[in-house]
Structure 1
Amino acid sequence: MTISLSALDLVIAESNRTAEDLLAATSRTVLRLDELGYRRVWFAEHHAMGLSASVVPAVLLAHFGALTRRIRLGSGGVLAPNHTPLAIAEQFAMLAALHPDRIDMGIGRGPGTADPSIARALRRGAEPATDAEYAEDVAAILHYLSGDSGVQLMPGWQPDAGGARPWLLASSPASAELAARLGLPIALAHHIRPDGSVATAERYRERFIPSRWADRPYVMVAVETVVTDTDEEAARLARPIDLARARQSPAALLTAEQAARQEIPEDARALVTSIAAAQARGSVETARRRFADIVRQTGADELMLYVPLHDAEDRIRCFELSAKACEESTQA
C-alpha cells in the first residue's frame, strides 16, 4: 500500500501571539512540509474566528508559491457562497498562471464564520445558500475555468495549461453526490465529522461520473493528527483542541499547560472522546496503525493531516513523525 500525505494549515491562533507571529510560524511549517515531500498544503477561509488566522486562501497561495519549490498549494476551501463564481475563477486562474501545475481549488460551502453578521456582510445581506444555489455556483466556477463560458479570465490565459485543479470539500452524502456528478476529486472532512466518512466515500464512488477534471474517483481524507514520542504526550498536547471543541470556543488555542488546568464539560466529553478516537493521535507506532485503519475504512487515496497544536515547533515535529509513521504503514 502506498499513500500520499498532505497538510491542512489553518494558521492556528496561539494565545498571546500576534498575527505576524502566526503567519511567520506558518511559513516555517510550509517550508518544512516542502522539504519533507508532502504532496500539498491547503489553507481555509475563516472569518472572525479566533482559532484560525487563515482568512483569504488566495493570498496565502500566492505568497507560499513564491517561497516553496514543489509542494502543491490549495484552498481547503474557498467558500463559494461568499463570492461570485467569476471572482473565484479569476483568482485561481491568476494563481495558476503564477504557479503552473501547483494550484488546487478546493471549494466548500460553509460561511467560514460563527458570526451571522459577518456572514451577511460577506454575502451582501444574502441568506445562506440552498443546496441548488450552491450546486449552481460550483458548476458556474467550473464553467469559467473550463474556458467554455466564452469569458477570458485574463489575457493569454489557457484553461488547460497548468491550470488550477478543482476539488469539492464534503462531509455528507449530499456533497459526495455533487462531487460525483461533476466528476471532481473529493476531500472528506473526517477531522470534523468522522462518523460519516465511510458512507460519504462509498456514495461518491458509486455515483462518480468521469469528467475533464478527473477520470476516476479520488478520495482525500482530512485527519486530525497529533503524533509525538508517546501516546501520553500526544494526549497532553491534544488537550487544548479537545477543550476548544468541547466549549465550541472561538478563542485562540491555549497552551497544553493552560489546558491541563481546565476541565472538559461533562456534557461534551462523549463527543470529544468519539471524535478523538477516530483520528490519528499517539506515538509513531500508534499513528501507523491509525493511518492504516483510516485508509482501509475509507479507501483513501491520500491523507491530509490537520495538526491543531499550540506551538509551531510541535506542529512541525508532528509532520515529521507522521511522515515516518506513514512510511512504516506502507511497508507493513
Structure 2
Amino acid sequence: MTADHTTKQLTDIPFSVLDLSPIVAGGSPAESFRNTLDLARHAEIWGYHRYWLAEHHNMPFIASSATSVVISHVAAGTSTIRVGSGGIMLPNHSPLVIAEQFGTLESLYPGRIDLGLGRAPGTDQRTARALRRSGRNDAEDFPEQLDELRAYFDPSLASGPMPVKAIPGEGLSIPVWLLGSSGFSAQLAGQLGLPFAYASHFSPVNTVPALELYRRSFKPSKALEKPYAMVGVNVVAADTDEEANRLGTTLQQQFLNLIRGEEAPLQPPVRSMDGLWTEYEQRAVHQQLGSSIFGSPGTVKDKLQSFLDDTQADELMVIAQVFDHKARLHSYEIVTNLFKS
C-alpha cells in the first residue's frame, strides 16, 4: 500500500445509491416505485452522484424486474442525477434489445444514463430459462454478448460490418460498466478498460482481491485512461447504534430467507435475531453481510473510512434495505452528511 492510500477521505469521492425498489410486507410494487422516485429526488438534492436500479426476477421483495422501465421513471422524475442499471443481467437479453432500450433512455435523458452489466441471471435457474426461452442457462458467452452490445453503440469496435443497427443507440456515448462479485468480471473489465463495480454488499470476502485483479489487468481504452472502481456496501444509519442495529435486522432477515429458500417481502425489523436463526444460519448471514455497516453517524463514519482504506474505491454505492421508508431516507441523509462535511 503506497503512501497516498492512507489519505483518501470520504469527502474525496462520489457517493451513489443502489436501489432494489424493495417490496415490504403489506406493501405493493406501486408503493415501491413511489418510494423509489421519492428517494431518488432526495438523493439528487443531497448530492449523490448516480442512482442505479437492479434487475432481479421472481423475487417477492424486489420490484425492479423491468429495470429499463424503472430507470426511465426515475430519470423522468429527476433532473441532474445520473440514472442507470446495477445491473442489467445481459445473458437474459438480446444485446440488440438492450442497445435499443438504453439508446432510447440516453436519447430521452442525454448525458445521464449508465449501463451497468452483469453476467449472473439475477434469479433462479428455472426463471432464467423462462426469461431466455432456450436451454442455455450459463453465461459462457458473456464476453461475446458484451462485444456485440458495445459494437451497436460504437461500430468501430466490431470485427466486421454491422448489418444490423441499434436505432436509437448507434453513435451514442453511454458509459458501460461491468458488475461482479468474483474475479471474472474484474479481469474482463480491466482488459477492456471499462469501469468496474464490485458487489461487496453480498460478496464481501473477495472484495479486495477482485479490485486488485481489476487494477492489475487494466489497459487504457477509449472509455477510460485509468482504472475506476466503485464498490457497493450495505449501510444502515440511524441516530443511535441501537436503532441502526434494530433496523438492520430487516436486511438480516432478507438474507436468512434467501439461505432457507423462503423468499418473502421485506420484513419489519425486530429487537433481536436471537431465536430466529440457528448458529449455522447466523454465521452464514454474517459471512454474506460481512462488509455491512450498521450504526450511528459516528460509527458509520469510522467504519466507512476503514472500508475506503481497505478498498481504495473511487466511488461508493450505498444500499439501504430498510423497512420503513422514512427511516430509509434518514439513513441516506446521515450518509450525506459524512461525504459532504
- TM-score over 0.5 for the alignment? yes
C-alpha separation in 2, matches of 1:247 and 1:57: 23
In structure 2, give the amino acid aligned to 1:89: A
In structure 2, what is the equivalent of residue 247 of structure 1? Answer: 257
TM, length-normalised to structure 2: 0.90
In structure 2, give the amino acid aligned to 1:239: T
C-alpha separation in 2, matches of 1:154 and 1:262: 56
- Choose which of 231, 235, 240 in structure 2 pairs with 1:225: 235
In structure 1, what is the equivalent of residue 336 of structure 2? Answer: 323
- Choose which of 122, 138, 161 in structure 2 pairs with 1:129: 138
Give, in angstroms, the shift of residue 213 of structure 1.
Answer: 1.6
Q: RMSD of aligned C-alpha atoms?
A: 1.7
Q: State the secondary structure of the residue aligned to 1:167.
A: strand
Q: Provide, for residues 153-186 of structure 1, a one-character-per-residue CA deviation record: whole Å limited to 9, x for no partner.
A: 226x6625xx321000011112111111111100
Q: State the secondary structure of the residue aligned to 2:201.
A: coil
In structure 2, what is the equivalent of residue 96 of structure 1? Answer: 106
In structure 1, what is the equivalent of residue 176 of structure 2? Answer: 166
**Structure 1 segments unaligned to the other structure (5+ residues):** none
**Structure 2 segments unaligned to the other structure (5+ residues):** 1-8
**Structure 2 residue 191 is the aligned partner of structure 1 residue 181:** yes
C-alpha separation in 2, matches of 1:233 and 1:276: 18
In structure 2, what is the equivalent of residue 197 of structure 1? Answer: 207
In structure 1, what is the equivalent of residue 148 of structure 2? Answer: 140
TM, length-normalised to structure 1: 0.92
Contact 1:45 1:77 survives alignment (8 Å): yes
Give, in angstroms, the shift of residue 276 of structure 1.
Answer: 3.8
Give, in angstroms, the shift of residue 261 of structure 1.
Answer: 8.1
Give, in angstroms, the shift of residue 266 of structure 1.
Answer: 2.0
C-alpha separation in 1, matches of 2:85 and 2:218: 22
Q: Provide, for residues 187-234 of structure 1, a one-character-per-residue CA deviation record: whole Å limited to 9, x for no partner.
A: 000001011000000000001011112111000000011011111111
Give, in angstroms, the shift of residue 260 of structure 1.
Answer: 5.7
In structure 2, what is the equivalent of residue 216 of structure 1? Answer: 226
In structure 2, what is the equivalent of residue 71 of structure 1? Answer: 81
Contact 1:15 1:255 survives alignment (8 Å): yes
Q: State the secondary structure of the residue aligned to 2:222.
A: coil
Give, in angstroms, the shift of residue 117 of structure 1.
Answer: 2.5
In structure 1, what is the equivalent of residue 4 of structure 2? Answer: none
C-alpha separation in 1, matches of 2:31 and 2:90: 29
Give, in angstroms, the shift of residue 273 of structure 1.
Answer: 2.6
The count of aligned residue pairs is: 323
C-alpha separation in 1, matches of 2:144 and 2:67: 22
- Choose which of 41, 49, 55 in structure 1 pairs with 2:51: 41
In structure 2, give the amino acid aligned to 1:127: R
Q: Provide, for residues 85-131 of structure 1, a one-character-per-residue CA deviation record: whole Å limited to 9, x for no partner.
A: 111111111111111110000000111212x3221011112322243
Give, in angstroms, the shift of residue 290 of structure 1.
Answer: 1.4
In structure 2, give the amino acid aligned to 1:306: I
**Identity %, equivalent residues:** 35
In structure 1, what is the equivalent of residue 6 of structure 2? Answer: none
Give, in angstroms, the shift of residue 258 of structure 1.
Answer: 8.6
In structure 2, give the amino acid aligned to 1:117: R
Q: State the secondary structure of the residue aligned to 1:195.
A: coil
